[in-house]
Amino acid sequence: MNELIQILPKAELHMHIEGSLEPELMFKLAKRNGIKLPDASVDELRAKYNFNNLQEFLDIYYQGCAVLQTEQDFYDLAWAYLENAKQDNVVHTEIFYDPQSHTDRGIPFETTINGLHRAFTDAQQQLGISFHIIACFLRHLPEQDAIDIYPEIYKHKDKIYGIGLDSSELGHPPEKYKRVFAQAKKDGFKVVAHAGEEGPADYVKQAIELLDVDRIDHGNHCLDDDILTAHIAKQGLALTVCPLSNLKLRVVKDLKDHPIKTMLKKGLMATINSDDPAYFGGYINENFMHLNDAVGLTENEIFTLVENSFKASFLPDDIKKIHLQALHSVW
Ligand code: ADE
Ligand code: ZN
């Protein structure tokens, strides 16, 4: 089965580029930028990657961002992810990044987007991986902060394809962002939101009804509401599911309890993704492999999950068709 997972070309739709910052690269960038990290070594830092919930992870994740200072740092971060993606046979990726976690540290918006965009453009030519960049608002910050940074995002519409919503979910319902999301939709951005990771089914409902999302990130808790689940399935609205993240952030107690099979049985367009691979112990193929080890996926289920990754992508229909044909021929 692992060989099958490896050889299938796939798209990744839920990956935070800051969450692909491996400790080794973090230390290298810290040295390059003269920054002293709180931990003395890679091992000491990795030993902290044991989380009881989303917030404990986010505290460490934002701390790690401090080493990202220059355009080249953002380029190197993206390039390291892309090399892993290439190994996993990812041919298209739609990545998240958190502009506010950099601009709030005094890093100019241009530095972040130019470094990332240059790396992804080079990868398209050199590694054959196409991409879309999705800029996320940090939902733990005031709505006004999102409204204030939106013009910067809009200025870079040639490089940014979509708008997302991430960070601490509980206490920050999608409703808080309905104004800025309405503007982004009007301006032609695709919009997505993390919902139902730690938050309740009602947050998933709000993301659909109030933000008019084109995809739901995570979405696990929609399963608590049968009517909502049936609605999402009927609409063909995709969920970007992240198994190792769900395990490490204790959304599931054990990977054996992961609801992926239930999601597929209920007709949900689920996809498999890595979320923050440097922190959760695996890139996309490892997510497939660990999930398969835990719940025993059938070959058809693996195929459906990979097929869904292209169907749920923001690629134009003609390009989707080419990827789906290539997938079928490998299959
Ligand atoms: N930012 C990075 N990873 C995240 C996650 N799993 N949930 C919410 N915000 C995030
Ligand atoms: Zn995420």
In this predicted structure, what is the pLDDT of residue 233?
Answer: 98
Q: What is the pLDDT of residue 180?
A: 98
In this structure, the residue with its CA closest to atom 4 of ligand 1 is 167
Furthest-apart CA pair in the chain: how many Å?
Answer: 54
- Residues 128-139 have a mean pLDDT of 98
Confidence band (pLDDT; 50, 70, 90) for 160? very high
| Atom 6, ligand 1: residue with shortest CA distance | 275
Convert the pLDDT of each residue in 164-213 to its tens digit. 999 999 999 999 999 999 999 999 999 999 999 999 999 999 999 999 99
* CA 40 from centre of chain: 29
- Find, among 287, 286, 279, the residue nearest to 49 by Cα: 279
Are the beta carbons of 211 and 165 closer than 8 angstroms? yes
H-assigned helices in the chain: 2-7, 23-32, 42-46, 54-64, 71-87, 100-103, 109-126, 143-155, 178-186, 201-209, 226-235, 243-248, 260-265, 277-280, 284-295, 299-311, 317-330
Q: Which tens digit of pLDDT belongs to each residue from 205-261?
A: 999 999 999 999 999 999 999 999 999 999 999 999 999 999 999 999 999 999 999
- Section 273-290 average pLDDT: 98
Residue 15 DSSP class: B
- Counting ligand 1 atoms within 8 A of each CB, the residue from 18, 57, 138, 250 with the most, and so the one to mutate, is 57
Give the C-alpha separation, 95 to 12, whole Å. 8
The predicted-structure confidence for 286-330, as pLDDT tens digits, reads as follows: 999 999 999 999 999 999 999 999 999 999 999 999 999 999 999
pTM exceeds cut of 0.85: yes
Residues 268/305, Cβ–Cβ less than 8 Å: no
Q: How far is CA 193 from CA 205, 218, 314, in A?
A: 11, 9, 15
For residue 280 the two structure tokens come to 């959760």
Per-residue pLDDT at 329: 96
Domains by residue range for the chain, with CATH: 2-330 (3.20.20.140)
- If you take atom 8 of ligand 1, which residue's CA is the nearest one? 167
Which tens digit of pLDDT belongs to each residue from 41-75? 999 999 999 999 999 999 999 999 999 999 999 99
pLDDT given at position 258? 98
> CA-to-CA distance for 59 and 61, rounded, in angstroms?
6
90-97 vs 269-272, strand pairing mode: unpaired
pLDDT at 257: 98
Residue of the nearest CA to atom 1 in ligand 1? 167
Pocket-forming residues, ligand 1, beta carbon under 6 Å: 16, 19, 54, 61, 166-167, 194, 197, 245, 275-276
For the stretch 287-299, pLDDT in tens is 999 999 999 999 9
Contacts of 83 (CB under 8 A, 6+ apart): 127
pLDDT of residue 192: 99
Q: Which helix (H) or strand (E) holds 90?
A: strand 90-97
Mean pLDDT score, 270-281 = 98
Report the percent of the chain where pLDDT is more than 90. 100
Query: How many CB atoms lie under 10 A from the CB of residue 52?
Result: 9
Q: Collapsing DSSP states into helix, strand and coil, what is residue 216?
A: strand
- Under DSSP, the state recorded for 147 is H
Residues labelled as active-site residues: 197
Task: Using most ligand atoms within 8 A of CB, pick from 51, 169, 194 the residue to mutate for ligand 1.
Answer: 194
Residue with tokens 């206490």: 171
Confidence of residue 88 (pLDDT cuts 50, 70, 90): very high
User: Percent of the chain beyond pLDDT 70?
Assistant: 100
Distances (CA, A) of 269 to 21, 128, 218, 229, 319: 29, 26, 12, 11, 19
Q: Are 74 and 112 in contact (CB under 8 A)?
A: yes
Mean pLDDT of the chain: 98
What does the pLDDT read at residue 275?
98
The pLDDT assigned to 30 comes to: 98
Q: How far is the CA of 270 from the centre of ligand 2 (A)?
A: 15
